[in-house]
Amino acid sequence: MTTRLGTAPALGLLLIGLVCQEVGASIAVLLFPAVGPLGMVMMRLVFAAAVLLIVARPRLRQGGAAWRAIVAFGVVLAAMNGLFYLALARLPLGVTVTIEVLGPLVLSIVVARRAAAWLWALLALAGVAALGGGGWDRLDLWGVLFALGAAASWAFYILASAETGRRVAGLDGLALAMSVGAVLSLPFGIVDAGAALLRPDLLGLGFAVALLSSMVPYAVELMALRRLAASVFAVLMSLGPATASLAGFLVLGQNLNLVEILGIALVIAASMGAVLTAPRNTPPQEPLA
């Protein structure tokens, strides 16, 4: 029997994952000149998969439906990370995450069954728009397209992660899906990074990015998805632009203006509203053995 986890602890898990993810993304940006965006994706997924395989020791004997969910999850992981880093190479961190979060926001509207979910999604969307800070006209077109692709992938990631969590116990599904994503990223990453993969210092930093951006966030999100409705989870993840903008300011020196600060406040208000209005008698989703 899985231990019941309330809304507040699940929210705490998501906040930890968000902070780690954006700090990891900031470090990844600093590594782009040496390894390239796709080389960074490969290192992130390969290191994360290796650690998860050691920790989880997943059972390879899974049912057909479970393996279909795992493979789909792995494909989405590779696509989402690849598109995100390709966008991040052309756009500021806060703007990239702001565009990317449109995927979960759209999903929250599609799956919502309560009027309040629509209200909080719209409020968060207003915050996302404000986080652009009036600089949308200066954005690189390919960067925007890559970010929109990452947004669509993120929506599918939420669904694929929840499906994997229902069909595979513990972290087994995440470990196997991360391995699938790592294998898919290998040829692109090797071409992009080249000889930089032989440098121990870069490999060490790549491992740090994997720890911050993949292992911690995906593990806590997988646990939270079992206790939160998909619509609530999607709106909560709209905190991404806020943490990304803060990480960009602290690590990359990307300043925030008043419009962006207003956007952060709107996103936080929407997330808090989603938590406060979530059904309190909804039982947690138990993973299938």
Each residue's pLDDT tens digit, 136-159: 666 788 998 999 999 999 888 888
Q: Are 179 and 49 in contact (CB under 8 A)?
A: yes
Q: Are 14 and 220 in contact (CB under 8 A)?
A: yes
Residue 2 confidence (pLDDT) above 50: no
The total domain count for the chain is: 1
Higher pLDDT, residue 45 or 246: 45
Residue 6 confidence (pLDDT) above 90: no
- Which tens digits make up the pLDDT trace of 159-191? 888 888 888 877 788 889 999 999 999 999 999
The verdict on residue 133 lying in a domain is: yes
The verdict on residue 53 lying in a domain is: yes
**How far out from the chain centre does Cα 105 lie?**
13
Query: Containing domain of residue 15, as a range?
Result: 7-276
**Torsion angle in degrees (nearest 10) through CA of 31, 33, 36, 37:** 60
Q: What pLDDT score does 22 carry?
A: 83
- Which tens digits make up the pLDDT trace of 27-56? 999 999 999 999 999 999 999 899 989 988
- Range of weakest confidence among 107-121, 208-222, 253-267: 107-121
Residue 284 confidence (pLDDT) above 80: no
The verdict on residue 283 lying in a domain is: no
